[in-house]
Amino acid sequence: MKKYIYIFLSYFGAQKVFADQPVDWQLGFQKAASESMRDIVAFHDNLLLPIIVAISAFVLFLMLYACIKFRASANPNPSKRTHNVAVEVLWTLIPCLILIVIAVPSFKILYKQDSIPKAELTIKAIGYQWYWGYEYPDENIIFESYMVEDKDLKANQPRLLAVDNEVVVPVNKVIKVLITANDVLHAWALPSFGVKRDAVPGRINETWFKAEKVGTYYGQCSELCGIKHAFMPITVKVVSQEDYENWLSEAKLKFAKEEINNDKLKIASK
């Protein structure tokens, strides 16, 4: 009983903590934490969903009407007509018009996402089989991010989503993400930010986000990349500018690029 009460409160927003990860019985999107995601949710809820519902209802009505109107008992001598020019023109033009109505705002959102503002912080994400590597090029920081195994999970860490080293970014700052892969195709996706870009070996894709809420956000690799595709999550922790600067000071010592490169050279020399 408690479980269903929790689901009810989570879905209808009675909890103070916003949805930064999937929850049981979730029917809609995760709550938006960026302008891009708000645009996507508005496009879906205000335009796409009503059109889909209307089309589904209309098709259902036609099917029921045809089943009742043209059933064998009511039409012992069925019509021999093979086509109707007016109907064929209508069912060609109307779907085209509907697609145009959907395409125009859709392209507007896509072009807005591809137009990257001046970045205040740049991060590079590299997909591996099966984990993510991250670099802060301007800060000389590089680290790897692995999923936390079930036996090592701490309190409040979600299964299959928590990682050992989180990406940390400041709130209300434009974050540019350079995305690539070292082996096969991957995809870097964070639903709450409305971000999803393929990670392609030998190529660097770009995306951006501006997180508007402090919190921890979870995503996953969204391109089938092998046997452990489901076990390379993405965790981004959004903090205040002060907390970010404190983390940065510690990270420069913990994840210094030069130290990691030296360690790799030592291992290679052996």
Question: Is residue 183 one of the residues assigned to a domain?
Answer: yes
Phi-psi region of 25 (alpha: psi -120 to 50; beta: other; left: phi over 0): left
**DSSP states of 142-202:** EEEE-BPPGGG--TTPPTTT-BSS-EEEETTS-EEEEEEESSS-EEEEEGGGTEEEEE-BT
Q: Which domain range does residue 61 map to?
A: 35-114
Verify that 140 and 72 share a domain, yes or no. Answer: no
Query: Is the pLDDT score of 261 beyond 70?
Result: no
Q: Are 207 and 113 in contact (CB under 8 A)?
A: yes
Given this model, what pLDDT does residue 79 score?
78
Provide the 10 A C-beta neighbour count for residue 99.
12
Given this model, what pLDDT does residue 157 score?
85
Verify that 99 and 171 share a domain, yes or no. Answer: no
Q: CA angle, corner 231, sides to 227 and 232, nearest 5?
A: 110
Residue burial 185-217, b: 16+ Cβ < 10 Å; e: rest: ebbbbbbbbbbbbbbbeeeebebbbbbeeeebb
Query: Is the pLDDT score of 11 beyond 50?
Result: no
Question: Is residue 72 one of the residues assigned to a domain?
Answer: yes
Question: Is residue 203 one of the residues assigned to a domain?
Answer: yes
Predicted confidence (pLDDT) per residue in 140-185, tens digit: 899 999 999 988 888 888 889 999 999 999 999 999 999 999 999 9
What gap in Å lies between CA 94 and CA 84, rounded to an integer?
A: 16
Tokens matching residue 140: 């000389």
Verify that 90 and 163 share a domain, yes or no. Answer: no
Domain count of the chain? 2
Q: Which residues contact 35 (CB under 8 A, 6 or more apart)?
A: 210, 212
Verify that 150 and 99 share a domain, yes or no. Answer: no
Verify that 93 and 147 share a domain, yes or no. Answer: no
pLDDT tier, 17 (very low <50, low <70, confident <90, very high otherwise): very low
Verify that 166 and 189 share a domain, yes or no. Answer: yes
Verify that 169 and 235 share a domain, yes or no. Answer: yes
Predicted confidence (pLDDT) per residue in 173-223, tens digit: 999 999 999 999 999 999 999 999 999 999 999 999 999 999 999 999 999
Verify that 157 and 215 share a domain, yes or no. Answer: yes
Question: Is residue 28 one of the residues assigned to a domain?
Answer: no
Query: Is the pLDDT score of 106 beyond 80?
Result: yes
Verify that 146 and 189 share a domain, yes or no. Answer: yes
Q: What is the chain's mean pLDDT, rounded?
A: 86
> Which has more confidence, 260 or 65?
65
Tokens matching residue 206: 């770009």
Question: Is residue 23 one of the residues assigned to a domain?
Answer: no
Given this model, what pLDDT does residue 211 score?
93
Verify that 83 and 125 share a domain, yes or no. Answer: no
Tokens matching residue 185: 């195709």
Residue entry with tokens 């086509």 = 83
Question: Is residue 3 one of the residues assigned to a domain?
Answer: no
What gap in Å lies between CA 118 and CA 221, rounded to an integer?
A: 26
Provide the 10 A C-beta neighbour count for residue 227.
8
Q: Which of 64, 99, 114 is the last residue of a domain?
A: 114
Q: Which of 74, 96, 114 is the last residue of a domain?
A: 114
Q: Which of 88, 114, 140 is the last residue of a domain?
A: 114
Given this model, what pLDDT does residue 257 score?
56
